[in-house]
Amino acid sequence: MHFDTLKGWLNWQESLHPQSIDLGLNRVTRVYNALHSTAQKKTVTITVAGTNGKGSSIAFLEAIYIAQGLRVGAYTSPHIVNYNERIKINAKPVSDDLICAAFERIEAVRNNISLSYFEFSTLAALDIFSRSDLDIQLLEVGLGGRLDAVNIIDPDVAIVTCIALDHTAWLGETREAIAFEKAGIFRANTVAITGDLEPPKALIDCAQQKQAELLCLGHDFTYSKTDNKQWTWHKDNKKLSNLPCPQLKGEHQYRNASSVLTAIHCLQDKITVSEQAIKQGLSNVNLPGRFQLIGSEPPILLDVSHNLQAAQALIDHLQSEFKHTPIHAIFTMMNDKDINGVISLMQPFIKHWYISPLDNPRASKETDLKNAFQHCNINPVNTGYKDFLSTYHAAKAGAQADQGIILIFGSFFLVSEYLTLFSKPQG
């Protein structure tokens, strides 16, 4: 199979595999081994799993290692605007040509083995990174950990950010079951780090069974904030003081940054990083769609939160930064999420809701969202818009009328709609 454009390749991949999510390592491992039939020098690898905070942790690591002057590959998902965002070298998305060439190589050895869209992207990222003379590669797990395609690579350090209920249809309906899946990225005699303040027993048990060295936030490392808007990271008798506040906002970002600094510390014998690079990276880090404030009129706050834990972090941010500001929320969620739970949690903090349609097979239907709002005794809710743009104009008029802000949240795809339409701040 051959396509001249990245769009052609992606459209074909979406139609190739009967399931969008197909967990398991057998098929992807066989193709990976065929791609890498000759022994190669292993790139230092940090793998990041967790319910929330994966993208933020990768962004912190990327910014710090780049500040050190290193050559850094980062693989993340999903993308927000362009597919190329998934595969970056030194914070720059790789070109269509590089990705298409990787797809060609994958197709040449695939031998009719069925691959999902995500498995194609994972193999392409690993193939591109193996040819790019990297100092380090940062890999974000797509779903779970144990059976996720990223887990075909043995990490030098594994991070599990936190464990919360999400993707329960695939990972299980309890924190213990989900923790077991996430801990699948741990390896024997290798540092495993968690930023979860109450790690499930299954996570601890898995680390022990795998003989991984588990380091837990609040026990093996911690952080403290000072009055002068700075903070300190502590581990054993080692500490980093006078650190700038993370450029990514929210209390949870201190937990993510602390886990990241622990990973960097544990890899110092392989990759030395200076305190200056750490401070520079914390100050420079950038990640679209996470409490991203657009300074337009009215202001717009973008957040990709789509589960209860992320919604609580969003509430904390709204209470901290916009406590007395009317919130006009443009909202939708995918149909496999806890819609009632998120709506109930957010309801006291939202003045007006606007349900936006999304052209996505996984998006909830407007009737289902209306039912969810009725179930939560929230009325009225603004509905009946033909597309995101008309929803946005309605919310904009409402927010301007009472000097409020527009909050766009509930899905990566919804934030993507805004950023695709308005690449620059709009008035």
Q: Are residues 363 and 343 in the same domain?
A: yes
Q: Give the SS3 label for residue 100.
A: helix
Please give the residue range of the domain that contains residue 246.
6-284
**Gap between the Cα atoms of 288 and 291, Å rounded:** 8
Does residue 427 form part of some domain?
A: no
Q: Are residues 221 and 248 in the same domain?
A: yes
Q: Are residues 246 and 305 in the same domain?
A: no
Q: Are residues 118 and 157 in the same domain?
A: yes
Amino acid at 218: G
Q: Which residues contact 360 (CB under 8 A, 6 or more apart)?
A: 334, 413
Confidence at residue 338, expressed as pLDDT on a 0 to 100 scale? 84
The DSSP string of 376-424 is: TT----B---SSHHHHHHHHHHHHHHTT-EEEEES-HHHHHHHHHH-SS
User: With 80 as the cut, is the pLDDT of residue 296 above it?
Assistant: yes
Could you tell me the pTM of the whole model? 0.91
Q: Are residues 297 and 280 in the same domain?
A: no
Q: Which two tokens stand for residue 10?
A: 């992606």
The string of pLDDT tens digits covering residues 233-244 is 999 999 999 999
Among 284, 303, 323, the domain boundary falls at: 284
Q: Which residues of 299-325 are buried (b: 16+ CB within 10 A; e: fewer)?
A: bbbbbbbbbbbbbbbbbebbeeebeeb
Vertex 295 angle, CA 415 and 403, to 5° = 95
Does residue 350 form part of some domain?
A: yes
Q: Are residues 103 and 221 in the same domain?
A: yes
Q: Are residues 280 and 330 in the same domain?
A: no
Number of domains the chain contains: 2
Q: Are residues 240 and 388 in the same domain?
A: no
Does residue 229 form part of some domain?
A: yes
> CATH number, domain at 369?
3.90.190.20
Q: Are residues 217 and 326 in the same domain?
A: no
Q: Minimum mean pLDDT among 17-31, 89-103, 367-381: which range? A: 17-31
The string of pLDDT tens digits covering residues 230-278 is 999 999 999 999 999 998 988 889 999 999 999 999 999 999 999 999 9
The string of pLDDT tens digits covering residues 91-112 is 999 999 999 999 999 999 999 8
**Gap between the Cα atoms of 211 and 285, Å rounded:** 33
Confidence at residue 172, expressed as pLDDT on a 0 to 100 scale? 53
**Gap between the Cα atoms of 172 and 150, Å rounded:** 20
Q: Are residues 191 and 325 in the same domain?
A: no
**Gap between the Cα atoms of 208 and 228, Å rounded:** 40
User: With 60 as the cut, is the pLDDT of residue 166 above it?
Assistant: no
> CATH number, domain at 40?
3.40.1190.10
**Gap between the Cα atoms of 30 and 161, Å rounded:** 29
Among 284, 302, 318, the domain boundary falls at: 284
